[in-house]
Structure 1
Amino acid sequence: MRHLSVTLATALAPLVWGTTYLVTTQFLPPDAPLFAALMRALPAGLLAVALSRALPRGSWWWRSAVLGVLNIGAFFLLLFVAAYRLPGGLAATLGAGQPLIVAVLAVVLLGQAWSAWRLGWGVVGVVGVALVVLRADAVPDVLGVAAGLAGAASMGLGVTLTKRWGRPTGALAFAGWQLTAGGLVLVPLTLVVEGVPAGIDAPAVAGYAWLGVVGGLLAYTLWFTGIGRIPVTSAAMLALLSPVVAAALGALVLGERFEPAQLLGFALALGAIVASQLRTGTATPPPEPGPQTVPAVAGTVGPEAVADGHAESAPEPVCR
């Protein structure tokens, strides 16, 4: 029962991320994706650090920077490059490959056993998302495809390293460290490429607040809590909820129509998500990995959460 409650709480993060496309298109200034990513990451990260009153110690300075770049800074940048150069459905489908990347990295970096169950349902999940969001007229772009795959790999590696290194402090502070590091990476890119958009009105402020407080602070706190307590491959599969929610909101709020193939895709994606949480399958275990330790951090608050075992995406331009 406790595992179920943790899984449901973790699933809230990609459910919230699925609202990003709707909020971005309906409330935010157009053609300013990097500024939106910056507003989502840096203010929320600084707020989380201030509320938790905990800073990294020792090796966690560079570890937090690495995780912040992988999970936030580089991921957001690559996500928006893919979204601008590819049809949204194709970008979302590439992002849905993240669970497959995590399944491989879990074997390489975490010493977990190969599991046909995980890989099989990961493939089913990708197929389901593709049916939901991919359009027949989608035209691939080499740079866009590379960015989409690199974004999925960046988030996949970040999620796996988060599991490997553990969490040395409370989830709020841990999320704050990474959001701040990722946001700082986005600052020079945003100022050079876009600058501050004109016409930031009250709806835009509300949209940025939603993306930062709910989509950033709250969602990533839940996400990093869940990664520490459930299998990393199961957590990665939950990320498929994001494009599914984005497509559902497009139908409910924007009046987009669903074809039978999309309904089948919904069923496949949701089935894959549920099945990946029920069992891990059996496989011949690899050689025992070396001992791993999670360094304690003096002066931090919150429980240590280390337990055994992520293009936001949407039917159109995708942003997580």
Structure 2
Amino acid sequence: MKPVDIGLAILVAVIWGLAFVASRIALEEFSPALMTALRFVVAAVPCLFVRKPDVSWPLLIAISGTLFLGQFLAQAYGLAHGVPVGLTSVIVQSQALFTIAFSVVAFREIPTRVQGVGIAVATTGLLMICGTVGYDFSAGAFLVLMGSPITFAIGNLLLRRARNVPMFDLFAWLCLVPPLPLLALALVTDGAQASLNSLIHISRTALACTVALGLISTSIAYWLWGRLLRDYTAAQVVPFALLVPFVGAAASSIVFGERFGPLRLSGMLIVVCGIAIMLLSKRSQVVPEIV
């Protein structure tokens, strides 16, 4: 990779790591549904300036509903209900584990031995983290948060079907789908008056965080990431995502003073190691069809 593109890959990882902190701050004033809706209202602005890519509406809705709506709503819910920022960033990156697992079913891509080791290591780390649930956040919040990497992984596989389209245009139009259902959810769960009051009394800090989440973390960062994946192999680009949980954990320890016990910290590190093994290994083998 060119030095400038390596710098861009690191920049995207830093942006995504800091986005967890920004989300936590915004959630002090907004409900998970409303905050996520506002994030995509901002991120959908480029739709006014770019044409819809050559992707069918059902596929566009399916990708956005999983890769964006499902992933980020589950993240926001977990953060709003006490799951630490650093731990959340690690859990979300476990999407690599689920992506490989779902690829077995969807595309008959059998993991290599090295990937199998990575899956086993990451699963062990997740089980260790599960052993710490119930002390500072509920099992329910953790279960909802686990929906984030799962829907993320499904979105990754659906994204394969949107080929030969401009990445910026695609991600801009993907952002157009979540706002309406999320706003409807906010009205149902929070009430119209509470939602309106949150918008009227928004602080400058929450506003800045929300705009940053929509404009920088979603529109710009995803576009840069998509461009890198277009110009280089996934094996060259995707490992940079391993920086995200380290940035998220470091930033949360500075901003919120978060600390992790030995079992949870060990589990987090083991998950990241397992993901590293999976991402740095060779591609999966495709099982031939039996005629």
TM-score range, shorter chain: 0.7 to 0.9
Contact 1:71 1:159 in 2 (8 A): yes
1-side partners of 2:127 and 2:250: how far apart?
A: 14
1:123 Cα shift? 4.4
SS of aligned partner of 2:178: helix
Contact 1:132 1:265 in 2 (8 A): yes
How big is each residue's C-alpha offset from its partner over 1:50-109, in whole Å with a ceiling of 9 and x where there is no partner? 33x21144x522211110101111222233333445633765565343211101122332
Letter in 2 for 1:102: T
Q: TM (normalized to structure 1)?
A: 0.70
User: Cα gap change, 1:76/1:68 in structure 2, threshold over 3 Å: closer, same or farther?
Assistant: same
User: Cα gap change, 1:54/1:156 in structure 2, threshold over 3 Å: closer, same or farther?
Assistant: same
User: Cα gap change, 1:216/1:118 in structure 2, threshold over 3 Å: closer, same or farther?
Assistant: same
1-side partners of 2:148 and 2:34: how far apart?
A: 18
1:12 Cα shift? 4.2
Match of 1:200 among 182, 199, 202: 202
> What does 1:163-312 align with in structure 2 at a 5 Å threshold?
163=160, 165-194=161-190, 195-196=195-196, 197=198, 198-226=200-228, 229-231=232-234, 235=238, 239-257=241-259, 268=270, 271-272=273-274, 274-280=276-282, 285-287=286-288
Letter in 1 for 2:216: V
1-side partners of 2:207 and 2:154: how far apart?
A: 32
How big is each residue's C-alpha offset from its partner over 1:268-298, in whole Å with a ceiling of 9 and x where there is no partner? 56655554454316x7641159xxxxxxxxx
Letter in 2 for 1:287: P
Letter in 2 for 1:16: I
Letter in 2 for 1:222: L
Q: TM (normalized to structure 2)?
A: 0.76
Between 16-25 and 100-109, the greater mean CA deviation after superposition: 16-25
Alignment RMSD (CA, Å): 3.8
How big is each residue's C-alpha offset from its partner over 1:211-264, in whole Å with a ceiling of 9 and x where there is no partner? 1111111122133345555348973x6555433222111233444457777776
SS of aligned partner of 2:202: coil
Between 5-14 and 108-117, the greater mean CA deviation after superposition: 5-14
Match of 1:50 in 2: 48
Question: What 5-or-longer segments of structure 2 have no aligned partner?
Answer: none
Match of 1:74 in 2: 70
1-side partners of 2:236 and 2:56: how far apart?
A: 24
2-side partners of 1:130 and 1:245: how far apart?
A: 23
Contact 1:43 1:212 in 2 (8 A): yes
Match of 1:87 among 65, 83, 90: 83
> 1:114 and 2:111 equivalent?
yes
The sequence identity of aligned pairs, in percent, is 20
User: Cα gap change, 1:143/1:103 in structure 2, threshold over 3 Å: closer, same or farther?
Assistant: same
SS of aligned partner of 2:118: helix
1:118 Cα shift? 2.2
Query: What is the number of residues matched between the two proteins?
Result: 282
1-side partners of 2:135 and 2:106: how far apart?
A: 35
Contact 2:97 2:122 in 1 (8 A): no
Contact 2:122 2:275 in 1 (8 A): yes
> What does 1:108-187 align with in structure 2 at a 5 Å threshold?
108-125=105-122, 138=135, 141=138, 143-163=140-160, 165-187=161-183
User: Cα gap change, 1:227/1:288 in structure 2, threshold over 3 Å: closer, same or farther?
Assistant: farther
1-side partners of 2:261 and 2:76: how far apart?
A: 27
Between 254-263 and 153-162, the greater mean CA deviation after superposition: 254-263
User: Cα gap change, 1:132/1:24 in structure 2, threshold over 3 Å: closer, same or farther?
Assistant: same
1-side partners of 2:60 and 2:93: how far apart?
A: 25
2-side partners of 1:142 and 1:273: how far apart?
A: 23
Question: What 5-or-longer segments of structure 1 have no aligned partner?
Answer: 290-320
Match of 1:317 in 2: none
Match of 1:41 in 2: 40
> 1:17 and 2:16 equivalent?
yes
